[in-house]
Structure 1
Amino acid sequence: MTQTETKSYLAHHLALAGRLDPIFSDDATTLIRQVGRGTRRAVNNLAVQALGAASAGNAVVGESAARAAVTEVTAE
């Protein structure tokens, strides 16, 4: 997936869960796409981990949460 496709893909899945406003920062989306090599499964895994790393108190999943997700997923 391209950067634009990844952003749309994440937004679509968040909308299915009832979240309509953007939650992933551009930096986080870029990192998730790069590390996941644009594959849907890897993007999903990284996005889920990033959501957990960001915690419910943050309005946006930032790059630091995405980096924590990368560390968690790539360590497996």
Structure 2
Amino acid sequence: MKRGGYCAWHKGWAEDVALAVVIEQGSGPGGSAYACLPCARPLTQRHDAPEMLKQAVAEMEARAQQPGQAS
């Protein structure tokens, strides 16, 4: 399933985004940040990259390879 959204890294709309960061706080609401495929790829190379991000990037890469899909 392809879904568009706001990429917090390049600060703009993207055709496909994945949850990249979950922001937890001691009090008050937490938050989250989404990244598009080009912005998310380098995040997976960090030593602290969560497995869920690596899986999401793999899924976005697979969708990008499908005919008629934007990368």
Q: Calculate the TM-score normalised by the size of structure 1.
A: 0.27
Greater radius of gyration (CA): 2
- Flag the structure with more relative contact order, 1 or 2, with Cα contacts below 8 A and sequence separation at least 6: 1
Q: Calculate the TM-score normalised by the size of structure 2.
A: 0.28
